[in-house]
Structure 1
């Protein structure tokens, strides 16, 4: 478990290495994480983060010209019109390849900021400062950037590594508990695919585990980040190992699309993980008690574990357009036991429906 005051540095290795720094009070020294060539920086933020963005501008005044781009909250930010708004600001202020974009917010904001940085002049420096649990353990780490279209989630995007990720736990202060719990779906995923200690800590005392002021909370954040950092260091562009991070996401993304992105990502992924566990069980890979454990842990976080049975055909059609499919063939990450994920290819639709019936309400 980390020292409660000292920052923890988690390295992402590979062709474009960078550091993820976890701690408290980190945003006060943000300039130490900026490339020395940066003269201008666009801070992309959701409306609730306006005071923090303004504080950053004041803090960096005199060294860097900071421009603010306030974008819609949550998935409403991940639209091409919003990206174009950011590009317009950068074009009108003559952003060059040595200037930077900083994503300040939850997963949708960091996804958008990353896409904007990746596409402006074919790539300029990117700093991610996630302000939600989801952003800290998943969206801001790994270099996946993207926006949504009417046809599906994250269908337009780029793999683009940031220069640094700053995980300042102080930024979680005041975040509603339901937002924290929704973000824990990705923490649970990390536990099931790679680090069972995460599951043990959640089961020991879920109240302490989800309290941002406790050492256990910080340990869970760091463990989850380490899981993702290890995977993306080995496979940045999702040619192999990185696919395990999609556990629960194929159905989860279809649910988000069906709900027109009004659901929290974690709620949809929670149902997706129950479906993946049921599919694993039907494939003979996962015992029933592990499926029960999945439901129990997610329910303890007040996350949903079921979805209307009558929505199956719509969800199936969306999944067939999912970017994880290959030549129309659906691919799912299932478990051969806790901590042992693998790809399941070309599953018969009757088997998929049988697994969904266990989820259907």
Structure 2
């Protein structure tokens, strides 16, 4: 909302107020100019010049409104008006510095005409520049609203995606190792509570995200059992001021466990590192894999959803302040992420 609308001013009241505020300094400047030129009746002439200047500026603003209806390219229109303003100003300054000694008609043409054009161009320039600023502000607000809507959509997709993958795993275990189901359901309850309720904010304390990651790792330890060889180098963060986007890192951790389960080796090797340094969050995860697991990933139509989701969230939440590197071989998959802490 415009400041004038907040105070109850109409458009007419706004222009009257601005004219009254500008009239004082302009009158003082014109009175000084008339006195310098030793013209009699200085106060009356200064008043007339002040009215003329204000009328020229507001006439230029009105003409700019008419031009804005026709011309969409405001940048070119601004350039054109500025060029006219500069040329008219140069002609006017030249005439004042070196007055023409010929006929009165030519003198009028070389002084008052460029003076009038300069005033109107100034009014047009003010109007167009303000319109450009207003358009940029509206575009920025529209883009921010779009980004916020897209971000909420991406965040709302995380919990169903996680739940879908987890239920698939539980189904397999219920057939072959049903004794693991009760403790897994307890861990799953904690995980879902965080993803549904606690992760609704745009940014959360990193220590809360670490607790969620720890619960997920414990969940996978129960599910995989002795086959898992885990190197866990997660630095404990206690400062609640260090924040991160919720469920951002868990996508990479979940993928590491999911895509390493079919490795040809007897054991599943996963290395996780999470550290903070100055204002940076440094995360890396590496998991073993096999060609069979790679083929399964390609055939799985949902396999790329999490990675696409997290890349979009990084672009929206950490524009220009993150670096994601993924290295993939037939036997391993490595993710390195650096981002600025919020």
TM-score by length of 1: 0.24
Pick the structure with more helix per residue.
2
Structure number having the greater strand percentage: 1
Please identify the structure whose Cα radius of gyration is greater: 2
Query: Which structure is higher in RCO with an 8 Å CA cutoff and minimum separation 6?
Result: 1
Q: Give the TM-score normalised by the residue count of structure 2.
A: 0.25
